[in-house]
Structure 1
Amino acid sequence: MTDHVCLQLQSWLHGSAGLWSSSLPQTGFFPPLENAMLLSGTFNNRVALITGGGTGLGRAMTVTLSQLGAQCIIASRKLEVLQQTAEEISSQTGNKVHAVQCDVRDPQAVSQCIDQMEALTGLPDVIINNAAGNFVCPSERLSPNAWQTVIDIVLNGTAFVTLELGKRLIQKQKGASFLAITTIYAESGSGFVAPSASAKAGVEALYKSLAAEWGRYGHRFNIIQPGPIRTKGAFSRMDPTGAFEKVKIDRIPTGRLGKPAELANLVAYMSSDYASWMSGAVIRFDGGEYVSIAGEFNELRSVTPDQWKVMEAMIRKTKGS
């Protein structure tokens, strides 16, 4: 009986993560609230730049900031997509959203984008570096071009936008809030997304460095590490078959994926004057996923009360070290 139970326990612990959360009853304790959290008018007379703001998470951030009164500029390579998004959000919120084409990989294009932005709105009060590129791939199959593409968009693009804007803001003696969107595996690393993990870790080092250096100019630098939040573009590259979504949910203690509007509320708070003493912060926003997968014994949550009784009896019988 004991040997049989031991074999069962080994099987449960190593091969059946889904047993614990097949019904996910805990989800009811963590309902998403998707309406704007901050007071209407929080960003009145403020200008916000959101890179990658035409789709996905960037679009959700733009909606929330625009609802709260910000005049928003969204920037990415695809001008047609940006223009459509800008028109839709402007008609929804009543606040102007500007579309500015920009390839963040190109320093000259970034400079021209900021020239255009200055002519439209003046320099921004809020800068959100959200533009990203990523895909899953075994590292032995990565080409130099694939590596370079992700590094250029995520790390170099963030650096080019941040440094060019920072220099101009310093010259004009204007303060601003800078926010970078990274990922929970920027901290741990992760197989199959080595370029993204490396680039995002570099972004975090850049922002923490500038938080220390540029506070004297009135600049704040903060970081959000989102866990899995479903968007069409990201999930089509990161989970093309849909097979991994259930695995992800099973290991998130809150039992669900995040919602774009939830992230947008956090972005708005961290970019607002309510967070004016926050700088150099790295906020993990993942439903507990990181700590769930990091703990050595966390898979014991799949063990039932009856199985615990058997294990406890076995433990009590153990003598010596």
Structure 2
Amino acid sequence: MFTDRTFIVTGGGSGIGRAIALALGAAGACVVVTGRTPEKLDETVALLGEQGADGIAVPTDVRDPGAVDALVEAAVHHYGAVHGLVNNAAGNFVAPGIDLSPNGWKAVVDIVLNGSFYCTRAVARQMRNQGTGGSILSVIASYAWHGHPGTVHSAAAKAGVLAMTRTLAVELAPLGIRLNCIAPGPTETKGAGAALWADDTARAHVLSSVPAGRFADPTEVADASLFVLGDRASYMTGECLTLDGGQWLGKQVYGQ
């Protein structure tokens, strides 16, 4: 499905990013995983190797455009080309907007919005130079369009990524480059759990908001991501696929 194609996955050291990287590897892709913790990236590369897939780790701070350019150069040097990108790197924590510090705001916006743009820009330029086209997927959340108390920094940043995706989908379509988003709901990952539901009470409260009655498994998000990235979605661009067990549709004010 993805044989002879190379994908960069940001935030590939754990959670959804690792699941997508492993799924891409299982489908035949060469995978470049990046993030700020080399040990976690090395674990992902080892798991890729165990399933017979080819992957390398290139530690990168996506907030640094120069480092992002170097990441793409490293991928091209190792594999010859880049055919896809998954913008998954993120940061999040719950805080009322009125009490959110400027540094807290900047930290999340720099990673989610600026980092996604720097990576998208660098990879799209490489795709243009190659003349191959490609596919770019950004991982966001449904509160990018409906908002959510306590997540103004993340919601604003992810809304920006959605707007970026739709804008660049039009600009880059003539080059054969597709851009889409996926919006997972609550997912069984250690990182998100620690940030958004710190204890059993908070977890139960979040779970009660999901009509499907369960959290997503990272492999489910990965499977949906591969569909969007792949040729079966070749006419899909500028869209966002929601995968949240009906959570945002089930929001209510009146009744039971």
Secondary structure of the equivalent of 2:63? coil
Between the aligned partners of 2:113 and 2:161, the Cα distance in structure 1 is 6
Between the aligned partners of 2:239 and 2:43, the Cα distance in structure 1 is 34
* Matched residue type, 1:65: L
Q: Of the candidates 58, 80, 84, which is equivalent to residue 43 of structure 2?
A: 84
Within 5 Å, give how 1:1-321 maps onto structure 2: 42-91=1-50, 93-293=51-251, 295-297=252-254, 299-300=255-256
Secondary structure of the equivalent of 2:106? helix
Note closer, same or farther for the CA distance 1:149–1:211 as it changes in structure 2 (3 Å cut).
same
Between the aligned partners of 2:180 and 2:35, the Cα distance in structure 1 is 21
- Which entry has the higher C-alpha Rg, 1 or 2? 1
Q: Is the 8 A contact 2:105 2:153 kept in 1?
A: yes
Q: Please report how far the alpha carbon of residue 190 of structure 1 lies from its aligned counterpart in structure 2 after TM superposition.
A: 1.4
Q: Please report how far the alpha carbon of residue 250 of structure 1 lies from its aligned counterpart in structure 2 after TM superposition.
A: 1.7
* Matched residue type, 2:187: I
Q: TM-score, normalised by structure 1?
A: 0.78
Q: Please report how far the alpha carbon of residue 241 of structure 1 lies from its aligned counterpart in structure 2 after TM superposition.
A: 2.1
Q: TM-score, normalised by structure 2?
A: 0.97
**Runs of 5+ consecutive residues of structure 2 not aligned to the other structure:** none
Number of aligned residue pairs: 256
CA RMSD of aligned residues (A): 1.2
Q: Please report how far the alpha carbon of residue 274 of structure 1 lies from its aligned counterpart in structure 2 after TM superposition.
A: 0.8
Say which structure, 1 or 2, has more relative contact order (CA 8 Å, 6+ apart).
1
Consecutive aligned runs of 4 or more in structure 1 exceeding 4 Å deviation: none
**Runs of 5+ consecutive residues of structure 1 not aligned to the other structure:** 1-41, 301-321
* Matched residue type, 1:87: A
Between the aligned partners of 2:64 and 2:200, the Cα distance in structure 1 is 34
Between the aligned partners of 1:140 and 1:123, the Cα distance in structure 2 is 45
**Quick check: which one's helix share is greater?**
1
* Matched residue type, 2:131: Q
Q: Is the 8 A contact 2:22 2:47 kept in 1?
A: no
Post-superposition Cα deviations, 1:7-34, rounded to whole Å, max 9, x if no partner, equal xxxxxxxxxxxxxxxxxxxxxxxxxxxx
